[in-house]
A and B are shown apart, each in its own frame.
Chain A
Amino acid sequence: MSELLPPVIVGAGPAGIRAAERLVAAGLRPVVVDEAARWGGQIYRQPPEILSGAGFTRPKSALYGFEAGKADAVHRAMAAIRDRVDYRPRTLAWNCEAGALDLLSEGTSEVLPFSHLFLATGATDRVLPFPGWTLPGVFTLGGSQVALKFQGCAVGRRVAFLGTGPLLYLVAYQYLKAGVEVAGVFDTTPFAAQARATAGMLRDPATLAKGLLFVGWLRAHGVPIHNGVRPVRGEGAERVEALVWRDARGQERRTSCDAVAFGLGLRSETQLADLAGCRFRFDEADRAWLPERDGSGRSSVAGVYLAGDGSGIAGADAAELAGERAALALLEDLGRPVEAARVKELDGRLARIAAFRRSLSAAFPFPADWADAIADDTMICRCEGITAGAVREVARSGQAREMNRAKALTRAGMGRCQGRMCSATTAELLSRALGTGPDGVGRLRAQPPIKPLPVSAGAERREVA
């Protein structure tokens, strides 16, 4: 019976596409569910398709820079198997329960039963709040990149780049190249830490060289780069007009700008893995609870496979490899022959990337002290305006010792984003108020629907034969 069901892949980014390609090569016809209108994921997101008349014209070299070759290869891989997969674009998988996904596409819901589920759900920016972070003109780094890549727009005329992680310098560089004024790069990492970590990055000289090129290019164009920065506030009433920040010596400074692009690395989208029943563990490097996956991409639940940034941040190259690797595990579990040499090669390449990622996270560490500086009246929840003080209060009064209780009492995590934008903050505030480590306050349970649905979609499950 279960052999009759096609494997279901959620996510058409690098991991999902490489998995689909491998399954197709084995003669299967997977279902590929993706929320976007076109394949590629966030990193290799394609501009909108215009069916008649003038469309988007920038070449891939302009959209993806050094990664154009990889983006093109991933896009072509999916195009080549397009008629051998059941591709469902513009489709949200909003629940996973009892061996079936609930889908919503163009207002129509459907229950899709599966025997083998492959989750490649990706990631979004991890953020912590500062006063003024909800002002128009303050966007995530990833969002600022989407605006440029997907819409040909800059988020402002004079943009400040704030935070940490490889995206910080990459997006600043892309904006500069697009002719936008970069007001400065405000890196939360102290200069010394970055310099030390650079030695470890020699494991991957090509990536290190790109990083150094971005920094060099920015400097050559007179962009000030500041290390060891903490934000004080974004100023403005109707839109952001300046970023006030503290330099490494503790001096308060002000930079006028009309946009702030901001992020502190990435945060995995783990909701479907949670609803599928996967066991989670706390990951020190990502400072987050992640679904367990073994080296092959198997989760703790038989028939559920994980790959890409949705189950641990490792970047697009690793996502491609892990997608293919997990597809091979799936084939093996189906009793299909699997080429041992290919498995060994993928495992080797993934191990090398994992070592490099450890150096990268040392170069861009999470600024753990940021949470201590969040004033009680700072809004931590964009959805419902909940303050840092409200979360600290339920911890200090002994009412909440973990995330879900804090959510019940304060509603932090209960708004429309379901904690995507506030859960990192809530975990930091709670654990610091309680004196535990960041792993000591648990994690938010995922709840269906994992994104808001129109009531007309009908949350009732249809009977499936």
Chain B
Amino acid sequence: MALLQRVAEQGRRVVRFTLDGRPVEALEGDTVLTAMLTNGERLRRTEFADTPRAGFCMMGACQDCWVRTEEGERLRACGTFIADGMRLLSSGEWNS
């Protein structure tokens, strides 16, 4: 079940991306964090303890929300906007 719940602003254009290979949808103006957490429960698993993480501060300070794309790029999920065709992974940096 999704971690984040939409409570407003749902009239925006749908953006299509993949999460762990699965086609899913978000809305234009969503951050990568919002896009992933309205479709799942985590952003990554940590390389230290293999535990799930879903970000923390949402304002670019804690650095807890770095995610990988299938191409191997690293994104800070709270400060990057979702775009059509993104291929995102929630398995973590070293487990992908």
- Check if B5 sits within 8 Å of A421, measured CB to CB: no
* Contact A156-B81, Cβ < 8 Å, known A53-B12, A55-B29, A124-B61: no
Q: How extensive is the interface on chain B, given as a class?
A: 35 or more
Interface residues on A, range: 35 or more
Specify which chain A residues have a CB less than 8 angstroms from the CB of B5 in the assembled complex.
153-157, 180
Distance in angstroms from B47 CB to nearest chain A CB is: 9
Across the interface, do A269 and B11 meet the contact criterion of CB distance under 8 Å? no
- Is A152 on the interface with B (CB-CB < 8 A)? yes
Q: How far is the CA of A382 from the CA of B4 in the complex (A)?
A: 21
Known contacts being A53-B13, A55-B29, is A147 close to B64, with CB within 8 Å?
A: no
Q: Are B58 and A180 in contact (CB under 8 A)?
A: no
Bound CA–CA A135/B64 (angstroms): 11
Task: Please report the C-alpha to C-alpha distance between residue A62 and residue B8 in the assembled complex, in whole angstroms.
Answer: 10
Residues 122-140 of A contacting B (Cβ, < 8 Å): 124-125, 134-140
The reply to whether A154 and B4 contact each other, CB–CB distance below 8 Å, is yes
Which of A15-23, A42-50, A291-299, A317-325 touches B? A42-50
Tell me what chain B mostly uses at the interface: helix, strand, loop, or mixed: loop
A140 in contact with B57 (CB, 8 Å):
yes
A301-357 interface with B by 8 A CB criterion: none
Chain A residue nearest in CB terms to B49: A385
Say whether A420 contacts B8, CB under 8 Å. Answer: no
What residues of A have a CB within 8 angstroms of the CB of B52 in the complex?
Answer: 135-136, 238-239
Report if A58-B61 is in contact (Cβ < 8 Å); known contacts: A50-B29, A139-B56, A384-B48: no
Determine whether A451 belongs to the interface, using a CB cutoff of 8 Å to chain B: yes
Least Cβ–Cβ distance between B41 and chain A, in angstroms: 5
CB pair B38 A134 closer than 8 Å: no
Interface contact B12-A54, CB-CB below 8 Å? yes
Q: Is the CB of B13 within 8 A of A54?
A: yes
The answer for the CA separation of A179 and B58 in the assembled complex, in Å, is: 21
Among A134, A137, A152, which residue has its beta carbon within 8 angstroms of that of B8? Answer: A152
Whether A35 sits at the interface, judged by CB under 8 Å, is yes
- Expressed in whole angstroms, the Cα–Cα distance for A142 and B78 within the complex equals 13
On whether the beta carbons of A54 and B11 are closer than 8 Å, the reply is: yes
B48-96: which have CB < 8 Å to A?
48-49, 51-64, 66, 74, 76, 78-79, 81
Interface of A is mostly: loop
Given contacts A55-B12, A154-B5, A155-B3, contact A136 B53 (CB under 8 A): yes
- Chain B residues whose C-beta falls within 8 Å of the C-beta of A48 in the assembled complex: 29, 81
Inter-chain contact B42/A136, CB cutoff 8 Å: yes
- Specify which chain A residues have a CB less than 8 angstroms from the CB of B31 in the assembled complex: 151
Write out the residue numbers on chain B whose beta carbons fall within 8 Å of the beta carbon of A154.
Answer: 4-5, 7
Most buried by B among A58, A140, A384: A140
Given contacts A56-B29, A136-B53, A239-B41, A417 and B58 within 8 Å (CB-CB): no
**Residues of A close to B74: CB separation below 8 A:** 454
| B76 CB to nearest A CB, Å | 8
Q: Provided the pairs A152-B10, A180-B7, A239-B3 are in contact, do residues A143 and B57 lie with their beta carbons within 8 angstroms?
A: yes
B25 on the A face (CB < 8 A): no
Assess whether A178 is interfacial by the CB under 8 Å rule.
yes
Name B29's contact: one of A47, A136, A269 (CB within 8 Å): A47
Q: In the complex, A219 Cα to B37 Cα: how many Å?
A: 30
**A152 and B9 contacting across the interface, CB-CB below 8 Å:** yes
- Whether B7 lies near A382 (C-beta < 8 A) is no
Q: Are A420 and B59 in contact (CB under 8 A)?
A: no
Return the contact of A124 from the options B4, B12, B59, B64 (Cβ within 8 A): B59
Interface string of B2-32 (1 = CB under 8 A from A): 0111111111110000000000000011110
Taking a contact as CB atoms under 8 Å apart, the answer to whether B7 and A421 are in contact is no
Q: How far is the CB of A178 from chain B (nearest CB, A)?
A: 5
Judging by beta carbons under 8 Å apart, are A50 and B12 in contact?
Answer: yes
Residues of A within 8 A of B6 (CB): 152-153
Taking a contact as CB atoms under 8 Å apart, the answer to whether B62 and A417 are in contact is: yes
Q: Are B56 and A152 in contact (CB-based, < 8 A)?
A: no
- B53/A415 in contact, CB under 8 A: no
Q: Is the CB of B7 within 8 A of A179?
A: yes
Contacts known (A55-B29, A143-B59); A151 close to B9, Cβ less than 8 A: yes
Those of A14-66 within 8 Å (CB) of chain B: 35, 42, 47-48, 50, 53-58, 62
Q: List 11 A-B contacts (CB under 8 A).
A: A57-B11, A134-B56, A142-B59, A151-B34, A153-B7, A178-B7, A238-B41, A269-B61, A382-B53, A384-B48, A421-B57
Question: Apart from A124-B57, A143-B59, A156-B5, what are 20 other A-B pairs with CB-CB below 8 Å?
Answer: A47-B9, A48-B81, A50-B12, A50-B29, A56-B29, A124-B61, A136-B37, A136-B54, A139-B57, A139-B58, A140-B56, A142-B58, A147-B34, A147-B58, A153-B34, A154-B5, A382-B53, A385-B46, A385-B49, A417-B64
B→A interface (CB under 8 Å): 3-13, 28-31, 34, 37-38, 41-42, 46, 48-49, 51-64, 66, 74, 76, 78-79, 81
